Structure 1
Amino acid sequence: MLLTFSMMIVEFVAGLLTNSLALVSDAAHMLTHFFALALSYLAVLFAARQTSKERSFGFYRAESLAALINGLTLILITFFIGYKAYLKIIQPQPLEEIQMLIVAVAGLLVNLISAFILWKVKEADLNVKSAFLHLLTDTFSSVAIVAGAIVIHFTSWYVIDPILSVLICLIILIWAKNLLRDSFNVLMEAAPKHIRVDEVIRTLKQNVSGLEDVHDVHIWEIATKMYAMTVHIVVKDDKRISDCSGIKGEIKRLMKEKYHILHTNIEFECPGYESR
């Protein structure tokens, strides 16, 4: 994470000094991946914090709030860089391509080292795996800048620099869009995108015996990969109160194994007395 942050600062300053908009864009691209690494680190810290009576789910949603702010910031940055690129495409400006090449190679090496470090542990945690994939895309953009600097050196086609910056900005916008969508869905307590409420109801009726009906199902994402669910279960007439304990355990086990829902709150009802 420190490697990525340090190289981000170096690329930003070098981009200003060499007049390379591609380096500035790549610095912004590195910002997205530094943020991904920071989120992974913060997720571990939040998971270790004790919950309280006022915050029974802890501070997990601080991650989503920070992601929302970061996504909005990235969009503003990319539009500013895009405007600068437009001006340079209309009127190309000379730049220091040798210095640009040196910094781009350094950025490529940092990305490769960071990716190698994360590659060893990428399967241990989904957040780390996500950060690893982001670093791979940053590595590709560094390769493009290295190639662009070489072409500029031999051809003096300075327009390549703003064109590369536009391509990098498009990658950032795609990442920012996904970031905004995911963080907004979490903050709005939307159902996780891989879980369908109708499918959950069908799964319960098919796999848990003694159920008459399933309704008032609410599933939401507390934080990344942390899901909660409330559900009303109508049991059959021949079921006693003591039977509900076994049904509850079966439902919780099924939701955890099939949908990774760790917090399931169940309300049992008798036929004819359902609360709607």
Structure 2
Amino acid sequence: MSHSHSHGHSHDDHSHDHSHAPTVTGDNERKVLLSFFLIFTFMIVEVIGGLISGSLALLADAGHMLSDAGALALAYAAFRFGRRAADSRRTFGYLRFEVLAGFINAITLFAIVVWIVYEAWQRFQEPHVILAGPMLGVAIAGLLINILVFWILTRGDSEHVNIKGAALHVMGDLLGSVGAVSAAIVISYTGWTPIDPILSVVVSLLILRSAWGLLGKSIHILLEGAPDNATPEKIQRHLVENIPGVASVSHIHVWSITSGRTLATMHVRPAADVDARLIVRGIENELKSQFMIEHATIAIDWNDEAEACSLSQPPVPTGHAHGDGHDHEHVRA
């Protein structure tokens, strides 16, 4: 945030712990690592089963399992990197790594969808002989493995982007296994092999929908977007209406370092004869309780005229202009 004029600044740091270390524990790491080994091991089994049976549904599911294994490996690496302490170059540590992992997971899902659709088109052009028996056995086993892994992952901290990414991969793979089982049953009873590529395409569309949501959330965080429940407008309105002595709130910036770790900065102008420290404490409590903002830097603005800020929206007028000085007191909450 840049100002067109300079003022004296004083900083009053409250004695709060602003550690930016991730809250993910070793329990989540173990679950992700166990899921990785289960998926990676069965992926090999499914590739062999797909080659023997000639099933595109199984091969597509195996390809998706490969992306699952990559997603889980990224999730595990994100947890490990995220525990590294902040340093002079990365003052928030490596928490953003998990968002990058979620972004990569989404991109790989799109790539898998393209591959499935391409292979399905080839199968429509030149149908393959499919052995329904081996296909059904491997598909059922894959379904059970995916159910187990999905259960393991959803017992963890599923609000983190990389956990969601891994879980979405497994969910898509679970649907792929359902499709493979269905295709094997239809082929076994009717001999109609086009059902194999058809179900592969249907599953790919379901995967595409999940990938789009994950990609959007990852990009939103990477672009420093405000969480839906903590937009500047909502914060400004809530603080003015609920904190006595607040004349106006402006220059609000809200962003997420990673999933569930929201930060904010803002300028607050108190009414006349109001203790600024009490206002800051009240704002700190409201931001934590109402918006889940764990770290806020608050500038106390005594200037009647709103300062220009190249990054802010115009301040919302409140009709309560007070004060005649030109100083700011920055308070970190």
Do residues 156 (structure 1) and 186 (structure 2) align?
no
State the partner residue of 2:287.
255
Q: Rate the CA distance shift 1:265–1:16 in 2: closer, same or farther, 3 A.
A: farther
Pick aligned residue for 2:223 from 188, 195, 198: 188
Give the partner amino acid of 1:188: L
Map 1:48-197 to 2 at 5 A.
48-118=83-153, 121-122=155-156, 126-127=159-160, 130=164, 135-136=170-171, 138-197=173-232
For 1:106 and 1:135, locate their aligned partners in 2 and report how far apart those are by CA, in whole Å.
14
For 2:179 and 2:257, locate their aligned partners in 1 and report how far apart those are by CA, in whole Å.
38
Normalising by the residue count of structure 1, what TM-score does the alignment of the two structures yield?
Answer: 0.87
**Bigger shift: residues 10-19 or 77-86:** 10-19
SS at match of 2:283: helix
Q: Rate the CA distance shift 1:4–1:194 in 2: closer, same or farther, 3 A.
A: farther
Q: Which digits, 9 at most, give the CA deviation of each residue in 1:103-134, with x for residues without a partner?
A: 11111121232244446x35x55349845576
Report runs of 4+ in structure 1 exceeding 6 Å deviation.
Answer: none
Q: Rate the CA distance shift 1:32–1:264 in 2: closer, same or farther, 3 A.
A: farther
Number of residue-to-residue matches in the alignment: 271
Q: Which digits, 9 at most, give the CA deviation of each residue in 1:243-267, with x for residues without a partner?
A: 2222212212211111111121111
Do residues 207 (structure 1) and 219 (structure 2) align?
no
Q: Rate the CA distance shift 1:12–1:225 in 2: closer, same or farther, 3 A.
A: farther
- Rg: which structure is higher? 2
SS at match of 2:220: helix
Q: Rate the CA distance shift 1:129–1:63 in 2: closer, same or farther, 3 A.
A: closer
Normalising by the residue count of structure 2, what TM-score does the alignment of the two structures yield?
Answer: 0.73
State the partner residue of 2:53.
18
- Unaligned stretches of 5+ residues in structure 2: 1-34, 309-333
For 1:69 and 1:132, locate their aligned partners in 2 and report how far apart those are by CA, in whole Å.
14
**Bigger shift: residues 40-49 or 90-99:** 40-49
Q: How well do the aligned residues superpose, as a CA RMSD in angstroms?
A: 2.5
Pick aligned residue for 1:266 from 298, 302, 305: 298
For 1:211 and 1:199, locate their aligned partners in 2 and report how far apart those are by CA, in whole Å.
15
Deviation at 1:23, TM superposition (A): 1.3
For 1:111 and 1:81, locate their aligned partners in 2 and report how far apart those are by CA, in whole Å.
19
Deviation at 1:67, TM superposition (A): 2.5
Does the aligned pair in 1 maintain the 2:172–2:203 contact within 8 Å? no
Deviation at 1:57, TM superposition (A): 0.8
State the partner residue of 2:42.
7
Deviation at 1:161, TM superposition (A): 0.6
Greater helix proportion: 1
Give the partner amino acid of 2:245: G
Deviation at 1:157, TM superposition (A): 0.6
Q: Which digits, 9 at most, give the CA deviation of each residue in 1:201-228, with x for residues without a partner?
A: 1111111111111111111111112111
For 2:51 and 2:206, locate their aligned partners in 1 and report how far apart those are by CA, in whole Å.
21
Q: How high is the sequence identity, in percent, across the aligned residues?
A: 37
